[in-house]
Chains A and B, each alone.
Chain A
Amino acid sequence: MAIHRPCGTFDRTYYEAKAIFRTRLQWGMITALILALYGIAFVMNDYLLGLSIVIFSFIVAMLGIQIITGYAGQITIGHAAFVGVGMYVLACVEAHLGWSWWVGMPLAGIGAGLISMFFGSPSGRLKELYLAFATLAAHFIIVYVISNWESMTGGVDGIWLSRPEPLLGIDFMVEHNYYLLALTLCIAMIYLAKNLARTKLGRAFVAVRDNDIAAEVMGINIFSTKLLAFGIGGFFAGIGGAMYAGYNEYVNVEFFPLMDSIWFLGFLVVGGFGSIFGAICAAVLWKCLDEMATLMTPVFSQILPGLAFYVTASFSLIMYTLIIVIFLVLEPRGINHRWNIIKASYRLHPFAY
């Protein structure tokens, strides 16, 4: 399938050919969307703002696993732990060094990136299922270290931390200001990820994913490329973690359970491998379903008094699994592919091809 463009769009320069948004309409729509996202900060209540901030953090983290697994093709079942490393790096930097969130946030990204690289290093030898198990071990090791290194991490009690210091007179204790910060960071990270995907390293990632033998013979050092994928993916995870931890002002090991690592991978399938848009959709869908499950609790306790706890606990599991299974069966290439089909058929209308 060729990549369809709106009718009448011709590239006159290679700059145009490489642009993310090509037509005026696309530019208009994306500007309107971004403005709307900024605007609604002032009309949403705290509950919706909180939900949005969580979604933004998870979009950033999801971009991380999209880079590692979706682009570079290295399966990881330790992604939630890398997010956790980000949270804890931020918390420790704030608690022990007394530095502010503004310093801690990039450090969280770098720290998580390095840890991710370390646990990604088996990818030099291992592939697919075997690599999945090696990274699964990462999750257990990280959680074990965090819960037992009490002098540093406070063990199972967790750590309190504070929100970003006021900047230019903006107080981030106010919910909608933090929302604006998270939104800005999220857009910036999406832009970085998109640029990564369309430049040298992004192509090398896909080359390694699609045919690692050919990639090696075609001048790409696959081991360092894989390590970079883990490093950059971990960086995104760490930033996502710092956004989330900063919002909650508290972290403990319960914030990144093993199941989250698996849901990261599962929802990546739903969103679609190898697409930034897919990762965004995946994170939004996941966190909205999550919220829905929480909202259903009172409903269940009405219909099934006494059983409500068990039902809610399993409800989200069943729903997630169901969604993933439905996508695997009906649209294994994810929301992104379906969206492309819809766009293509709209542009080609009334013709079928």
Chain B
Amino acid sequence: MTTSIRNITKHREQRYSYGLTLLREEMEKKYPMPKEEDVGKKVVLKGEGINLAFGGLQALMDINFELKEGELLAIIGPNGAGKTCLLNVVSGFYRAQEGEIYYRDRKITHMSSHGIAELGLCRTFQNIALYTGLTVIENLMAARHPHIKYNFLSGMLYFPWASDEEVRQRAICEDIVDFLEMDAVRNHVVGSLAYGLRKRTELGRALALEPRILLLDEPMAGMNRDEKEDMARFILDIYEFLKIPVVLIEHDMGVVMDVADRIMVFDFGKQIAEGTPDEITVNPKVISAYLGTEYAGV
């Protein structure tokens, strides 16, 4: 069985008729969809000379990267290479000692994490970081936080407009739940869900935050082939339907080679290669990082 995920995802029916439509409408109200001519050209996220060290350990060494409109960028590299660190720096959770990050020409290096999230840089976590005490639907609702407009006093008094807004937001979240095919568990407390479903809830939570760039940290780690295919399908659907660029950190080469437009390879905090999937597969530096120098033919 070597059918590639791309084959499955390529021939899948267009399932835009349901799921995510409310979310997309909501997003279109706030900003226009990217223009056709910008896709693949306009830079939406840029890192310049990022250096991050923990004491003596240099986790990121002079990293430069660019993410363009409508692009699916994969970041690969052995464990401990610094991929998660890069995402943490982008989302403002770690502060790089040197370097700047720009989001659509806006410098976000020193912004607070929640401010960055409100701009639309939404991420998932490698080690699932859900709100364990809440149900699936409540987790998504919690992520709608910056987009819910009534203040807490109208919430406490439960004024009609607060109630209506709750219901409107709830509909958006239910839409996402439908899209992720999690209808059956929407009212389950996430702490009790199976691993694969929790990963999916993470994706849903990032969606509920209205991503303009989606940052996914190993969304398929520890999954079996079926679950990986589902996840790949969700990611591609989101990517195509919401027309947002996606950064995907993933170890499964099959998936990465199939779905990515461009791949960046990290090793020991350094960026050792960058290019299209075809270029990466034959890059001797990448082969030596993964398989050892004797296989690289250098």
Chain A residues close to B by CB (< 8 Å) = 1-3, 13-15, 17-18, 192, 195-196, 199-204, 206-207, 209-211, 213-222, 228, 232, 274
Q: Which chain A positions have C-beta within 8 A of B132?
A: 210-211
- Check B133 against A206 for contact (C-beta < 8 Å): yes
Q: Mark B121-135, 1 if CB is under 8 A from A, else 0.
A: 011010001111111
Q: Contact check: which of A1, A14, A217 meets B189 at CB < 8 Å?
A: A1
Closest partner residue, chain A, to B131 (CB atom): A210
Set of chain B residues within 8 Å of A213, measured between Cβ atoms: 93, 129
**Does B209 contact A219, Cβ atoms closer than 8 Å?**
yes
Contact of B133 among A196, A209, A221, A228 (CB under 8 A): A209
Task: Mark out the residues of chain B between 114 and 149 whose CB falls within 8 Å of any chain A CB in the assembled complex.
Answer: 114, 117-118, 122-123, 125, 129-135, 138, 141-143, 145-146, 148
- Which of B164-172, B244-252, B253-261, B266-274 is the contact stretch? B164-172
Contact B150 A210 (CB under 8 A): no
Contact in complex: B171, A14 (CB < 8 Å) = yes
Query: Closest residue of chain B to A199, judged by CB?
Result: B155
Top-9 shortest CB links A-B: A199-B155, A219-B117, A214-B129, A210-B131, A201-B152, A219-B146, A203-B142, A14-B167, A195-B158
Beyond known contacts A200-B155, A201-B152, A215-B131: 17 more, CB 8 A cutoff: A18-B170, A195-B158, A199-B166, A200-B145, A200-B166, A201-B155, A201-B156, A203-B145, A207-B134, A210-B133, A217-B113, A217-B117, A218-B117, A218-B122, A218-B209, A219-B209, A232-B152
Whether A218 lies near B158 (C-beta < 8 A) is: no
Across-interface contacts of B141 in A (CB, < 8 A): 203
Which one, B122, B145, B170, contacts A204 given CB within 8 A? B145
Tell me whether A192 and B145 are in contact in the complex, defined as CB-CB below 8 angstroms, given that A211-B129, A214-B129, A216-B113 are known contacts: no
Report whether B163 and A219 are in contact in the complex, using a CB–CB cutoff of 8 Å: no
By a CB distance below 8 angstroms, the chain A residues around B97 are: none
Contacts of A209 in B (CB 8 A): 133
Question: Is B187 on the interface with A (CB-CB < 8 A)?
Answer: yes
B146 touching A211, Cβ below 8 Å: no
Q: Does B174 contact A (CB under 8 A)?
A: yes
Question: Which residues of the partner chain B approach A2 to less than 8 Å between Cβ atoms?
Answer: 185, 187-189
Contact B131–A211 (Cβ < 8 Å): yes
Contact of B142 among A195, A206, A228, A232 (CB under 8 A): A206
Instruction: Please tell me if the beta carbons of B167 and A218 are within 8 angstroms of each other in the complex.
Output: no
Residue in A15, A17, A196, A221 whose CB lies within 8 Å of B152: A196
- Name B residues whose Cβ lies closer than 8 Å to a Cβ of A: 91-93, 112-114, 117-118, 122-123, 125, 129-135, 138, 141-143, 145-146, 148, 150, 152, 155-158, 162-163, 166-167, 170-171, 174, 185, 187-189, 192, 205, 209
Cα of A228 to Cα of B223 in the assembled complex, Å: 40
Give the nearest-CB partner of A18 in chain B: B166
Contact A192 B156 (CB under 8 A): yes
Q: Are B114 and A220 in contact (CB under 8 A)?
A: yes
With beta carbons under 8 angstroms apart, the residue of A1, A18, A218, A232 that contacts B145 is A218
Q: In chain B, what residue has the closest Cβ to A3?
A: B187
Distance in angstroms between the alpha carbons of A1 and B132 in the assembled complex: 12
- Do B205 and A218 touch across chains, with their CB atoms under 8 A apart? yes
Asked whether A15 and B167 contact (CB < 8 A) given A3-B187, A217-B123, the answer is yes
A206 touches B131 (CB 8 A): yes
Contact present for B152 and A216 (CB under 8 Å): no
Query: What residues of A have a CB within 8 angstroms of the CB of B162 in the complex?
Result: 199
- Cα–Cα distance between A54 and B227 once the two chains are bound (Å): 56
- B7 CB, nearest partner CB in chain A, Å: 34
A228: B residues at CB distance < 8 A: 152
Q: Which residues from chain B contact A218 at a C-beta distance below 8 Å?
A: 114, 117, 122, 142-143, 145, 205, 209
Tell me whether B133 and A195 are in contact (CB under 8 A).
no
Bound CA span A14–B142, Å? 16
* Chain B residues within 8 Å of A214, by CB: 125, 129-131
Contacts of B174 in A (CB 8 A): 14
Tell me if B150 and A195 are in contact (CB < 8 A): no
Bound together, the chains give a CA A195 to CA B91 distance in angstroms of 32
Q: Are A216 and B114 in touch, CB under 8 angstroms?
A: yes
Q: Are A219 and B114 in contact (CB under 8 A)?
A: yes
Within the complex, the shortest CB–CB distance from B224 to chain A, in Å, comes to: 24
* Cα(A204)–Cα(B142), bound, Å: 6
Q: How far is the CB of B34 from chain A (nearest CB, A)?
A: 22
Q: Which of A3, A215, A218 has the most CB of B within 10 A?
A: A218
| Cβ of A226 to closest chain B Cβ, rounded Å | 13
Q: Report the nearest A residue to B149, measured CB to CB.
A: A200
Taking a contact as CB atoms under 8 Å apart, the answer to whether B129 and A219 are in contact is no
Verify A211–B130 contact, CB threshold 8 A: yes
In the bound assembly, the distance between CA atoms of A245 and B274 in angstroms comes to 71
